[in-house]
Structure 1
Amino acid sequence: MRFKMLAVCGLVAGLSVATAQGPKEIKVPIKTSTGEDAGTATFKTAKKGVKVKIDLKNVPFGPHGVHIHQNASCEGPDFKSAGGHFNPDGKKHGFDNPMGHHNGDLPQNVSVGEDHTGSATFLVTTISLDPAAPNSLFASGGTSIVVHEKADDMKTDPSGNSGNRIACGVIKN
């Protein structure tokens, strides 16, 4: 009986460790300021970081900066409730930082075609889906993914000169 109890306790402890690592994948709906579907962002744990797949729709033609912001809030019409960029490492935005890319936010642009759709996939090594990690997307109750009206110029600190926020999705565990 004692052996069975130890085995059950070991199994429960093993489960709690697996749960602490967070989800392997999360899919986040993205909405415009009017509540229209603007696509999805899928975050998947990778060997070194998180693989992020962005699928946009109903978004204006052209390139759009996509960033992770520090608050799990997407209140329209301006999405200012998302706060500033998620930057757990406190790095400068753009190519001036030693790593040659952005700070802790999502460092890319997504091109949207004339059909108002676009997609891109990136590997982001500065974030995690592990809720216990300091660079977790779930830190302090979560974060958000924000689509901006213009392309990120990859150098201007802190926003990349990417303009207003036109779509947003809440990232929560």
Structure 2
Amino acid sequence: MRTPTSLCLILAGAASLAACATPVDAPAGAVAVPLVGGSGAQIGTVRMWETPGAVSFRIEGDGIAVGRKGLHVHAVGRCDAPGFTTAGSHWNPASRKHGLANPQGPHAGDLPNVPVAANGTLRETVVLTGASLAALRDADGSALVIHAGEDDNVTDPSGNSGDRIACAVLSPAG
């Protein structure tokens, strides 16, 4: 039987998969940024770190509605509540279609759905392959956005994942 980590490593090598979820905790040198909810208040933390050919995010949040949530890196490092529309569209430098299962995709910022437990907590690590901290933290930064619903992984532009309910600015380096 494969563990989630070994399955992630196998899937990460597949050409059609941009990211996968793993149970990994953030290393000591990870950059931490606040995760804010629709009220603008901090509801958690996102830690990010780089490995060869990938960026990992450890997301820890509380008070989030239960269920599987769409998760994407958006192109602009702004998280103005309540709707987080200032984060722009998905990070998509190659102009591909949305979705990890879309034959014409995925966007570079498409990530797997993440589970929010019955008590409203989110504790998940996801890996964005083909990314670097330098690319995500360019002049205007980028943002990690949690959506209200589950991403169907094929429908353009956001997998029918619904409203943006939480956001973390992946600020420019410096």
What TM-score, normalized by structure 2, do the two folds share? 0.76
Off by >3 Å, runs of 4+ in structure 1 = none
Structure 1 match to 2:93: 88
The structure with the largest alpha-carbon Rg is: 1
1:1-173 matches, cutoff 5 A: 25-94=30-99, 95-97=101-103, 102-130=106-134, 136-172=135-171, 173=173
Structure 1 or 2: larger helix share? 1
Q: Give me the whole-angstrom Cα distance separating, in 2, the residues matched to 1:129 and 1:114.
A: 32
Structure 2 contact 69–116 (Cα < 8 Å) conserved: yes
Q: Give me the whole-angstrom Cα distance separating, in 2, the residues matched to 1:90 and 1:36.
A: 33
1:102/1:42 CA distance change after superposition, 3 Å: farther
Q: Give me the whole-angstrom Cα distance separating, in 2, the residues matched to 1:76 and 1:123.
A: 26
Count, aligned residues: 143
Question: One-letter code of the match for 2:152?
Answer: D
* Unpaired runs of at least 5, structure 1: 1-23, 131-135
- Cα deviation per residue 1:18-56 (whole Å; 9 max; x = unaligned)? xxxxxx632121111212322222111112211221212
Q: Give me the whole-angstrom Cα distance separating, in 1, the residues matched to 2:112 and 2:44.
A: 16
Q: Percent identity?
A: 34
* Unpaired runs of at least 5, structure 2: 1-28
What RMSD over aligned residues (CA atoms) do the two structures have, in Å? 1.6
Secondary structure, aligned partner of 1:145: strand
Structure 1 match to 2:17: none
- Cα deviation per residue 1:93-148 (whole Å; 9 max; x = unaligned)? 111236xx631114111111111002221221121112xxxxx0012320111111
Q: Give me the whole-angstrom Cα distance separating, in 1, the residues matched to 2:45 and 2:106.
A: 22
